[in-house]
Structure 1
């Protein structure tokens, strides 16, 4: 299973693209601005999109992608999301005001997109993979995802603050790679808490929830471009992850757009 990082920034700037991951060729997880780096053929090959939540940095490219390749597809693009996310997309994006309602176009019985409601705890099987919907704690209905192809899981937390239910489930799984957000530095930790994001301070408490003896690479995503260096320095100080050595608590790395992982 190949995971390609299209975008993993908490905002836009030169070379910064917001959250989106392509799993093999068919599955898109979130649809931030990183989707714009795909070719038309690559976008047309995507069969399903999983959305963690409705915030713009995670859905901004979705309506534009659908418009770009709809005529090249022979069947609807299935968009899997929580009920609240689907409601928000229909009300605020695919509403014939901001963007055409492609769930009814070109015909109601043959639309360009089809919304599929999912719920936390649900497990779906497609393309030889098992995709589990994980709990997230955010300002809107939100989820994370665990994806595997018969082995250990690629886990993406989505946008979340402290989340004991997530760790309870993760600690039951074999993990190949964890992608976890840390949107703000410690100087903005109050804002992070209010907006239900993590800062290095709260991240340190979350990582304490990892089961004793479990060890896997942890990739930091969703950092604000203006604060990325500070966030990673603060994480390094609390976890002493660079250089790696015998006393390292966790294997923490910064996620970058353009990275690819074979899991």
Structure 2
């Protein structure tokens, strides 16, 4: 892929930004972390474009936001499909006349160790977890250039430091590298790019680790590995995202904010 700055722009052609709330586009918005993040942003006054591969899940989140007095719309987006990304961004941008924040919460984790890795699963993991955010930023770039402001928040994982299933850990480390690269490239137009790296969060996504008994055991090991002795919740991740997307973080870029209850720290024998 060529540099983002080389992308042919087909976005906005108007000269004035519309008045009204800023717009946040959230991928994976129908999931547990993505959904809570959408709701938190809506409470902060954002208009939220809830995007997800599952349009029904996105609709449910948008409906909860509307029922609470917020503003949201649901849009289907497959972040593994470049055409789908461009279509969704064009739809959202032209409806609202702006795209201020992009939150990349969509992700997959095939539970495959080295001996079991399938090429198709490896490719899809990288397509969803790394290429998707890159192409999404590329699609939103014309709006950011017009606005001379914006924020990108990617949701990576503590596994970028210590490893996990190979494809997943490689993709999350790659996402950190992508985020830092975009911080350098987008900074001159006033756009920040930061990553939030949670540790284990008990969600529908994590249920792929096994049945409830196995998941209980894993969650206990994860809790015991934290200095704070607690598990991270979706709300904790959403709070970090909301901060990095806000004006309070306008001078923060290229950072990785670990939401891990301390489990990102090296362990030492005391």
For normalisation by structure 2, the TM-score amounts to: 0.36
Say which structure is richer in helix: 2
Say which structure is richer in strand: 1
